[in-house]
Amino acid sequence: MILMAPPTGETKKEKTSPLLRVKGKRVKGVAPSKVGKSRNYEIAPGIMRFSKARMYHKKAMYKKVKHGKRPKQAGPSKKPLFVEKKIGGEKNNSTRLVRIKKLPQYYHAEGDKKPRQRRKTGKFIKRQKLRKSLVPGTICIVLAGRHKGRRVVFLKQLPSGLLLVTGPYRVNRCPLRRINQNYVIATQTRLDVSGVKLPDNMDDNYFRRILLNKARKKDEDIFDTKKEKYQVSEQRKKDQKEVDDQVFAALKKHKERRLVRQYLATGFSLRHGMLPHAMKF
């Protein structure tokens, strides 16, 4: 049997140990033993496959926790339900247990009805914060209600958070009204209303709706179908005229009073191609 020598320049490959990383550098050494991976892993960044409660049972952590017995705390002594009373008569056993608190004589068919909890209102309601663009004297555009599209003058904020506005009435037929600031667009045009004095009784109760419940008399016809209509009181007309005169005096002091008066009298509307979000008011 002839053994052939390896060709010149060719040598057997020496077995080298695998390369390891030490402080970021690759170094020859012995391969480390396989380390077991955690049974819980990330599905997405910050989101694990199993929750903490699930892993608590998977690892049987409940076997390692020792639950000590809690010492019994001395609670309040229970009041007795019955009292022993003496009873006369030979066949009545001389004593009997009687309830301290008697049971109700009748029970409701549907069980005890708990009283309905109502929300606390009144003094707990916070006043609505006024927008920075809404300053007394600002001309606003009404977006909802009977007078939508009209331009009004903002006078003050009422205790309920609603805005008190006026047309004035002689310009655009809009009287003194309350309106939520969410249904108003504040413009950059303003009047100086610092000299306008409003009546002291002009608050939320002043604008409260009057119920028109007509009381029927005995001699009245039961088939009477006439409905009572709301009529503006003389006090309301007087206050409207008084406030409008003061607003007109402030309007005359404006540099462009004619243009501002036409601006208040003209209604606001959108036409084709007009984008509200791209407009400056």
Hey, how many other C-beta atoms are within 10 angstroms of the C-beta on 141? 17
List of E strands, 64-144: 82-86, 95-99, 138-142
Nearest to 241 by CA among 164, 172, 166, 159: 166
Per-residue pLDDT tens over the stretch 49-80: 999 899 988 888 888 766 666 677 777 778 88
**Which CA distances in Å does 268 have to 180, 224, 262, 271?**
18, 43, 12, 10
Domains and CATH numbers, the chain: 138-215+228-269 (2.30.30.770)
- Report d(CA 207, CA 235) in Å as an integer: 12
In terms of C-beta density within 10 A (0-12 exposed, 13-18 middle, 19 or more buried), how is residue 163 classed? buried
Helix axes 234-252, 257-265, angle to 10 degrees: 140
Per-residue pLDDT of the chain (281 residues; tens, 9 = 90+): 444 544 544 444 444 445 555 555 555 555 555 566 778 888 888 888 999 899 988 888 888 766 666 677 777 778 889 999 988 888 888 888 999 988 888 877 777 667 777 766 555 556 778 999 999 999 999 999 999 999 999 999 999 899 999 989 999 999 999 999 999 999 999 999 999 999 988 999 999 887 766 655 555 666 666 677 778 889 999 999 999 999 999 999 999 999 999 999 999 998 888 998 888 88
For residue 242, give the H/E element and its range.
helix 234-252
Burial of 111 (0-12, 13-18, 19+ CB in 10 A): exposed
